[in-house]
Amino acid sequence: MVFPEQLNGLKVCFDGQLIAAEDSVVHLMTHGLHYATAAFEGIRIYNRTPFLLREHMERLHHSCNVLMMEVPYSVEQLCAQAQQVVDVNQIDFGYIRPLVWRGSEGMLIAGHGTKVHCAIAAWGVYESGRAEIRQRGANLGYSAHPKLHPSHTFWSTKATCIYALCYVIKREANANGYDDMVALDLDGYLTEVSSANLIFIKDGALVAPIPDCFLNGLTRQTVLKLAHQMGIAVHEVKVTKEMAAEADAAFLTGTALELLPIKKLAETEYEVEHPIFLQLEKAFHQLVNS
């Protein structure tokens, strides 16, 4: 059995039991694999403490509600399981990946008779190029793939079905020499990149696309809250390509990326070490390490 090497020798929580990562396998006929009846979370660990653990587990419940799947564990139980995985593996800084999915007990599309399963894995952070992009700033293009219509039920979730689009956008970026791509909504307004939110800085204020057809990330919410506390104005508005081209700076937010400055979006170059970005980055790092 081949499994991600960062899980080598670690334990995961699988349906409430701690087991070796290499034993955490699913059947070929898993409903979630065929019909995307699955949802996940991504949580960072700082100083052996998962950041915003409860909020992430509440979002997992929300994602599963939208997918009409009853999570077999309460938010409190999920939090306890996640902390147990962190503690048993002694992970001081890392990442937690909870996953909920319909099992292999039936193949009917509605999933009747299938069991809802839940697993939580965690591992020490590998930064996969993050530090290098932090230094030079991200290089972004505009994706040819539009986001979902706001009437679509899945956009506020981390249901795996939306990640097919995220995956295509990231592959498109890599194939075209970019770090990532900004997707537009169906009216041509800016939304986010493959799996992180986007915020601009203009005339001393933050300008953030309204999350009306894409995930309102917990990092985004944290950064906007910090900005309010620091007296930095925040405008949540529909952002056009013209507005993006006139901004002074821009950055990405997400659990995995934390805060990452943008150097270039299409033809527009931004200031990577903008003082407001640096202030927010410092405040964020102080918060997660407090």
Binding site for ligand PMP (CB under 6 A): 42, 166, 192, 195-197, 215, 217-220, 253-255
Report the Cα 178 to chain-centroid distance in Å.
Answer: 19
CB of 70 to ligand PMP, least distance (A): 23
Of 138, 137, 186, 135, whose CA–CA distance to 165 is shortest? 186
Residue number with CB closer to ligand PMP (103 or 172): 172
* Chain position whose Cβ is nearest to ligand PMP: 217
DSSP 73: S
Closer to ligand PMP by CB, 172 or 192: give it.
Answer: 192
Q: How far is the CB of 120 from ligand PMP (least distance, A)?
A: 16
Smallest gap from residue 106 Cβ to ligand PMP (A): 29
Q: Is 115 a catalytic residue?
A: no
Measured from the CB atom, is 71 or 213 closer to ligand PMP? Answer: 213
Query: Which residues are CB-contacts of 54 (< 8 A; sequence separation ≥ 6)?
Result: 75, 79
Residue 211 C-beta: closest distance to ligand PMP, Å? 9
Write down the least CB distance from residue 23 to ligand PMP, Å. Answer: 27
Task: Tell me the C-alpha to C-alpha distance, in Å, between residue 30 and each of 62, 121, 219, 220, 235.
Answer: 22, 19, 32, 34, 44
Helix, strand, coil share (%) of the chain residues, nearest 5: 30, 30, 40
Exposure string (b/e) for 146-185, b if CB count within 10 Å is 16 or more?
ebbeeeeebbbbbbbbbbebbebbbebbeeeebbbbbbbb
Shortest separation between residue 113's beta carbon and ligand PMP, angstroms: 31
Nearer to ligand PMP, 104 or 200 (CB): 200
- Beta bridge partners, 259, equal 253
Nearest-10 crossing angle of helices 275-288, 218-229: 110
CB nearer ligand PMP, residue 104 or residue 255:
255
User: Which residues lie across from 62 on neighbouring strands?
Assistant: none
Active-site residue (options: 147, 158, 170, 202) = 158
- Which CB atom, from 218 or from 227, has the smaller least distance to ligand PMP? 218
Instruction: Check if the beta carbon of residue 255 is closer than 8 Å to that of residue 215.
Output: no
Tokens of 107: 């193949």
Catalytic annotation, residues: 158
